[in-house]
């Protein structure tokens, strides 16, 4: 079951430059910065009410974020929904005919297990499902 919007992912050229913008906008500080090696991204999170903003910067040219920025410009990249059981949600969505980028969850930033759904099957939205890791 989907519980809430966990965060909104924004692709940026420079985390340093963008952090300043969002810290001024929200009068708050980014609380976590992380390198997710498997995805070739650096991420930073800032809390906004019950949700978060995740900034994503590419760390190499093969990174999905590098490819995204090559095609367009900085800005909205994905929306992430928190689910109570990511394994059963992925199974359910696969049965419903959704195209999954990750058939089984992988380790993501911010102590989460994550999986992405392909925009082809979500009317154009890149959707991330995530679940807090236990322990």
Binding residues vs Zn ion (CB under 5 A): 9, 54, 80, 128
Cα dist from 12 to 43, 57, 79, whole Å: 10, 5, 15
- Our CB check for Zn ion shows the closer of 41 and 93 to be 41
37 pairs with which residues across the strands?
Answer: none
- Our CB check for Zn ion shows the closer of 9 and 40 to be 9
Q: Least distance in Å: CB of 9 to Zn ion?
A: 4
Strand ranges in 1-135 using DSSP code E only, listed in sequence order: 2-11, 32-36, 41-48, 51-58, 75-83, 106-107, 112-117, 127-132
Q: Least distance in Å: CB of 29 to Zn ion?
A: 19
Q: Least distance in Å: CB of 78 to Zn ion?
A: 6
- Our CB check for Zn ion shows the closer of 95 and 114 to be 114
Task: Starting at the earlier edge strand, list the strands of the sheet with 112-117.
Answer: 32-36, 41-48, 51-58, 2-11, 75-83, 127-132, 112-117, 106-107
The residue sitting closest to Zn ion, measured at its beta carbon, is 9
- Our CB check for Zn ion shows the closer of 54 and 57 to be 54
Q: Least distance in Å: CB of 127 to Zn ion?
A: 10
């Amino acid at each position: 079951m989907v519980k809430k919007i966990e965060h909104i992912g924004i692709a940026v050229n420079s985390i340093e430059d963008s952090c300043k913008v969002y810290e001024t906008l929200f009068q708050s500080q980014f609380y976590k910065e992380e390198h997710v090696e498997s995805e070739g991204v650096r991420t930073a999170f800032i809390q906004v009410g019950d949700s978060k903003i995740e900034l994503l910067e590419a760390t190499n040219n093969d990174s999905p974020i590098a490819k995204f920025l090559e095609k367009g410009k900085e800005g909205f990249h994905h929306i992430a929904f928190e689910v109570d059981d990511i394994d059963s949600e992925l199974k359910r969505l696969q049965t419903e005919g959704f195209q999954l980028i990750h058939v089984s969850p992988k380790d993501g930033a911010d102590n989460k297990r994550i999986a992405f759904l392909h925009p082809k099957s979500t009317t154009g939205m890149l959707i991330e499902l995530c679940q807090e890791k236990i322990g």
